[in-house]
């Protein structure tokens, strides 16, 4: 893979893992108990981010975004 694509992929993996392994479970647990509206908003933001990253990863894997990383735009 092109170096830029590999970097983007690594960033997506890191960010997705952070959301899935840390933030989403923490906020879900908080919502089961004493939660604020801010907690619910953060959970929605992290869930949306996770979904976006999964979509971006799929596009990086199938080559949909390759044109972003070439000089022939």
- Reported as a single tens digit per residue, the pLDDT across 5-40 is 778 778 878 877 878 888 889 889 988 888 899 989
- Residue 35 CB: number of other CB atoms within 10 A? 15
Phi, psi of 37 (to 5 degrees): -60, -35
Give the CA count within 13 Å in the CB-facing half-sphere of 36.
3
- Retrieve residue 61's tokens: 């894997």
Q: Which residues does 70 contact at the CB level (< 8 Å), separation at least 6? A: 2
Q: What is the pLDDT of residue 41?
A: 93
- Which whole number is the average pLDDT over 45-61? 85
Q: What is the pLDDT of residue 38?
A: 93
For the chain, what percent of residues have pLDDT higher than 90?
Answer: 10
What rounded mean pLDDT belongs to the chain? Answer: 82
User: What pTM was computed for the model?
Assistant: 0.66
Q: Is 71 helix (H, G, I), strand (E, B) or coil?
A: coil
């Amino acid at each position: 893979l092109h170096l830029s694509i590999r970097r983007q992929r690594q960033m997506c993996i890191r960010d997705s893992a952070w959301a899935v392994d840390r933030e989403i479970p923490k906020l879900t647990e908080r919502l089961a108990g004493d939660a604020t509206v801010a907690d619910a908003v953060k959970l929605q933001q992290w869930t949306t981010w996770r979904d976006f990253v999964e979509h971006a990863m799929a596009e990086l894997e199938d080559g949909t975004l390759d044109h972003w990383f070439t000089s022939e735009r």
